[in-house]
A = this chain, B = another copy of it.
Amino acid sequence: MSFERENIRKMSGYASGEQPEDESTLKLNTNENPYPPSPQVSKVLATFKAESLRRYPPATAARFRGLAAELHHVSPNNVIATRGGDELLRLAITTFVDPGECIGVTQPTYSLYPVLAQIQNCPIVEVPLLDNWALPENFAQQMNQSKVKLTLLVNPHAPTGTLLDYDRISLLASDLDSILLLDEAYIDFVEGPYPTTELINEHGNIIILRTLSKGYSLAGLRFGYGIAAEPLIDPMMSKTRDSYNLDHLSQLIAEAAILDQEHAKKTWLRVIDERRRLQNALLGLGLTSPPSQANFLLVSVPASCGLSAADIYQKLKEKHILVRHFGGPGLDDKLRISIGTIEENNHLLSTLEQILA
């Protein structure tokens, strides 16, 4: 006898990228920042008193929310702190989408979204991107016609790395009947100004997702936050969030990391430089990728190459280099490769050169 709900019984879970624990593998498969977090994080660890874990943590992460609010020029009431971006995605669905109502995404998109929709028993409306990975002109109309209640848009896009025109976002928010959740997990790696957080004052239907996993080199910490108008933040804060969702130590580490903008920005600029160099070098090997504003490249393997994307994935893995091969429509001939350090990228390039020789 199975106790599972029918929708849960039928679904498959999220398949995360491989996480080998040995230090010898070069991990270019899950878009971690290749540089260490702020030295301030070590200081937090050095001064933290284990005894203080005896008590419950600050319930609403008020200090972190204050710092994030200052950074983005919004009020702390416009900010919710969450256990990674994942928790914010779940809370948005739990709070705003009834079972049976539709959730809208692009195809392709971050592969977690359909999983979260299935858990809430929500049909997913998928709108294919154009051949150049751009959003179709009538995207908002398609969402509205399908009565979508929540549109999930990852921008810069995963797994392609492409970025929406800034002006397009405001138009989208105006045109959509639904909430527009902008998953900005990779926003820190965008070149030039792209001030989406300002849009929450104009648009009561935008939720911005941020994470410390990539831009602040803290994937292991599980800390993210959401920015939105207060009527969207408040019910997630006060009703649907697990009470005490963030442990004490994580809050202190996140505070230290977000305060050290200078350190974080240095890592972003290095990644941007290396992204440019890696893309050019891969092109030299016959491997193309669309312009990326994220910390990864979606690399096409042409038929002329003699090896399939799956072959190359496997051969790299044998040489202890992990990249990501999703497969599926439009992605079968592609590999997603995270930007590493200069040395790591050089090692990848020389290994690819051997494999393709």
Contacts and interface: CB of A to CB of B under 8 A. Distances in A.
A33 B55 CA distance: 8
A332 interface: no
- Among all A-B residue pairs, the 10 with the closest Cβ atoms: A220-B248, A53-B220, A13-B239, A36-B51, A13-B238, A41-B50, A222-B247, A42-B50, A86-B242, A56-B219
A112 B243 contact: yes
Interface string A322-346: 0000000000000000000000000
Interface of A: 1-6, 8-9, 11-14, 16-17, 19, 21, 27, 30, 32-37, 39, 41-42, 45, 48, 50-59, 83-84, 86-87, 90, 94-99, 112, 115, 119, 121, 149, 179, 204-205, 213, 217-223, 231-232, 235, 238-240, 242-250, 253
Given A8-B235, A244-B16, A53 B217 contact: yes
B36 A239 contact: no
Nearest to A112: B243
B21 A58 contact: yes
A208 to B, nearest CB: 15
24 contacts: A2-B231, A3-B149, A3-B231, A5-B96, A5-B98, A13-B240, A16-B243, A19-B56, A32-B55, A45-B48, A53-B218, A54-B217, A55-B219, A56-B219, A56-B220, A83-B83, A83-B242, A83-B245, A86-B242, A86-B243, A119-B239, A221-B249, A222-B244, A222-B245
Contacts of A220: 52-57, 247-249
B240 A119 contact: yes
A66 to B, nearest CB: 14
Given A98-B5, A244-B86, A250-B247, A57 B218 contact: no
Q: Is the interface of A mostly helix, strand, loop or mixed?
A: loop
A154 B13 CA distance: 30
A4 B19 CA distance: 37
A49 to B, nearest CB: 8
A21 B63 CA distance: 12
A245 B90 CA distance: 12
A59 B119 contact: no
